Chains A and B, each alone.
Chain A
Amino acid sequence: MPETTHSFNLSAEQSTQVFNNLSEAFHLWAPVIKRKGSRFSEQDITTYGEPASFDEIFLSQQTFFSPKEALFPVRETMFKVDGNGLTESPYAGKPWLLFLRACDVHALEVMDAHYLSGTQPDIYYQRRRSKMKIVLLECPQPFEHCYCLSMGTAQTDHYAAFIRPKGHTHEWLVRDSQMLSAFPFEQVPVENPKPVPFNHRQVTVPEKINNTIFNHDMWKEYSRRCIACGRCNTSCPTCTCFSIWDVKTKAGDERQRIWSACHVKKFSVLAGNHDFRTKNGERMRYKVLHKINDFKKRTGKQMCIGCGRCDLVCPEYISMFRSIDKMNAVLKESTDHAA
């Protein structure tokens, strides 16, 4: 902990005052309930959004969608084209303040590895990321599907502030000096953020993926079950694929980058309409192996952060978590066989 950490225990009124102060300087992005926002009629949805007041920040349920839109908009204009040439899309506005759980902070680091590593950082990502601060949320209890302890994402040191509900009050830690003016209150000692005490699920990610896994019949099950709706991708905090499209808009012609997803059709279509990954089981294999193997080979970091949102949102009850377990079983079987 840096020495400059300040700590508070605030009443609902005081936290509201903090919220209002922060709202002036920041664009807030937090778990909220959207009333009747589900795809099903008259059903609410918990997801990321802009809370209008402090008590709209909703901490007791997992969000359906991840916070990634804050950094990676669904459709982002790269530049506009008119008779005078190209105009790069401007980016202005307040910096964003993201209310994230530890796993989602790790997801941000995965996105950083995607977009900021290498010789040429992605400017569209970078210009959002550089103006972003994190308020860490504590998980006193695990959600049904998450397995952060298995993925090493239950704790983080990357945050500007921290909030913990405590009875009728909220404990805050503030490390960022720019945010401190929003807290005109007496300090009291507050315990450091704690990781979730346990998960309902534990998994060991296989170290070595070989052709036995790649060619195994286990993926055929997903060809039968998966309907290629793409929800696992769109809700995943580390899915960052996009396609580039030139589109007409009311404002003129522009080049946009638009979310793409390995589970939806046409993702793997090449010139000449050749599609090299048509079976849904192959798509599942591609996604799972990317999340727990390929990305780690390149960056040393697991891409899957174990939030379990893909389980939560899958209409076919397909589980990423179970697929990892199945790989372990396959590997064990092949090792036993070799021995």
Chain B
Amino acid sequence: MFDVKAVRKNAFRITKTRGETALRIRVPGGHLQAKHLAVIQHIAENFGNGSVHITIRQGYEIPGIQLKDMPAVNQAVSGMLTAIEQECGLTLTSPEQGYPAAGARNISACIGNRVCPFANFDTTALAQKIEKSIYPNDYHVKIALTGCPNDCIKAHMNDIGIIGNVIPAFEKNRCIGCEACVDTCHNRVTNCLYMEDHARAMDESYCIRCGECILKCPVAALTRGTTLYRIIVGGRTGKRNPRLADTFISGADETTVLTICKNLYTFIGNHINRTMDKEHVGYIIDRVGYDIFTQEILEGITLNPEAVVQLPVNQGYHYRIRP
């Protein structure tokens, strides 16, 4: 009666209650025009059970919808869907049929520099650009963006995490030697700063480009240099080998970020084990190996001079598997 695979691809869930589904609303970058909440309310109250679940990936899930109502719900959602994707620069071919894919999970982002002083970039804006380059897509991939290494969005738990970095620009002849930057780096970051000649000095090899020192400088001796991104890969939860993502490229520019997200889907297409119900990308990387992963994911990219590719080493932990 219902094509379960088509239902799922349409962003509806197969639930434990027979005949009942739940619709997942994408909110790329986790930021939404408030007017869309009225649409979510309308669907929840007219087709669902009047409640809404806020998902971990910053989307909405509207439960209690009857599977038979899917066409009507798709009609109801199409205006909002069109508007949200258009904000990402994406025009969907048939929005009246609802979501064209559900594999590519909602791209989440911390609140970013629209609000947060620590953020080194506009996380929502870059999330929307990524959305444009990867959606719709059926492979199950999780991407998250975070404004600074505090990683409030937990990008470390995603297949690809984008962490905002900034290279501090330092003008020694404006430094008053107040030690505010040195203290904050010592107390909160990597202690890469120290005092020399009554001015801030730096051991660059320890700097993680978080921008904390810039925020603390009361004289603007430290200002913002180039904005770059650290790309971490391979983060996941799950029932076999959970692990935090690890650095793959540090100092990447925006073009590199966008291309890598796109290339990941090509890599999956090249290597996914189609005999399995679903093979998660992290396990594909593990199976294929980082050499091939690196080669394919960097396809067509001319790395910017600051970018450094490195081998992710975090193995996470394995549940005991019976031999």
Q: Give residues in A with beta carbon < 8 Å to B.
A: 36-37, 39-43, 45, 47, 65, 73-75, 229-231, 233-234, 243, 245, 247-249, 256, 258-261, 264-266
Contact = CB atoms under 8 A, between A and B. Distances in A.
Interface string B175-217: 1111110000000000000000111000000000001001111
Given A36-B224, A39-B223, A230-B218, A264 B174 contact: no
A266 B176 CA distance: 12
Nearest to B180: A229
B-side binding surface: helix, strand, loop or mixed?
A: loop
A258 B198 contact: yes
Contacts of B218: 229-231, 233-234, 261, 264
Contact of B176 (A45, A47, A234, A248): A234
Contacts of B217: 39
10 contacts: A36-B224, A39-B222, A40-B117, A41-B227, A230-B218, A234-B176, A247-B198, A261-B218, A265-B178, A265-B179
Contacts of A231: 218
A258 B176 CA distance: 6
B113 interface: yes
**5 nearest interchain CB pairs?**
A247-B197, A264-B178, A230-B218, A259-B176, A245-B198
B215 A39 contact: yes
A98 to B, nearest CB: 19
Contacts of B311: none
B174 A74 contact: yes
B12 interface: no
A339 B313 CA distance: 77
B220 interface: yes
Interface stretch (B21-29, B102-110, B119-127): B119-127
Nearest to A45: B220
Contact of A259 (B164, B179, B219): B219
B223 A75 contact: no
B177 A258 contact: yes
A280 to B, nearest CB: 14
Given A41-B121, A42-B121, A65-B220, A75 B175 contact: yes
B197 A249 contact: yes
Contacts of A260: 176
Interface of B: 113, 117, 119-122, 147, 164, 166, 172-180, 197-199, 211, 214-224, 227
Contacts of B177: 245, 258
Contact of A248 (B119, B173, B197, B216): B197
Contacts of A39: 117, 214-215, 217, 220, 222-224
Contacts of B216: 229
A-side binding surface: helix, strand, loop or mixed?
A: loop
Given A41-B227, A264-B180, 8 more contacts: A37-B223, A39-B215, A65-B220, A73-B173, A230-B180, A247-B199, A256-B198, A258-B177
Contact of B178 (A41, A65, A230, A248): A230
Nearest to A264: B178
Contacts of B222: 39
Given A41-B166, A42-B122, A249-B197, A261 B178 contact: yes
Contacts of B220: 37, 39, 45, 47, 65
A235 to B, nearest CB: 8
A74 B175 contact: yes
A264 B119 CA distance: 25
A273 to B, nearest CB: 15
B219 A41 contact: no
Contacts of B164: 41
Nearest to A42: B113
A234 B113 contact: no
B113 A40 contact: yes
Contact of A74 (B147, B176, B211, B223): B176
Contacts of B224: 36, 39, 41
Nearest to A36: B224
Contacts of B166: 41
A266 B180 CA distance: 11
A331 B151 CA distance: 50
Nearest to B219: A234
Q: Which of A40, A249, A260 has the most CB of B within 10 A?
A: A40
Nearest to B164: A41
A255 B183 CA distance: 25
A261 B178 CA distance: 8
Contacts of A234: 176, 218-219
A228 to B, nearest CB: 9
A75 B174 contact: yes
A75 B175 CA distance: 7
A62 B224 CA distance: 22
A260 B198 CA distance: 11
A65 B216 CA distance: 15
A258 B179 CA distance: 13
A266 B227 CA distance: 33
Nearest to B121: A41
A210 B305 CA distance: 63
A264 B175 CA distance: 13
A13 to B, nearest CB: 33
A74 B173 contact: yes
Contacts of B178: 230, 261, 264-265
Contact of B221 (A40, A74, A245): A74
Nearest to B173: A75
Contacts of B179: 264-266
A65 B174 CA distance: 13
A249 B201 CA distance: 13
Contacts of A40: 113, 117, 215
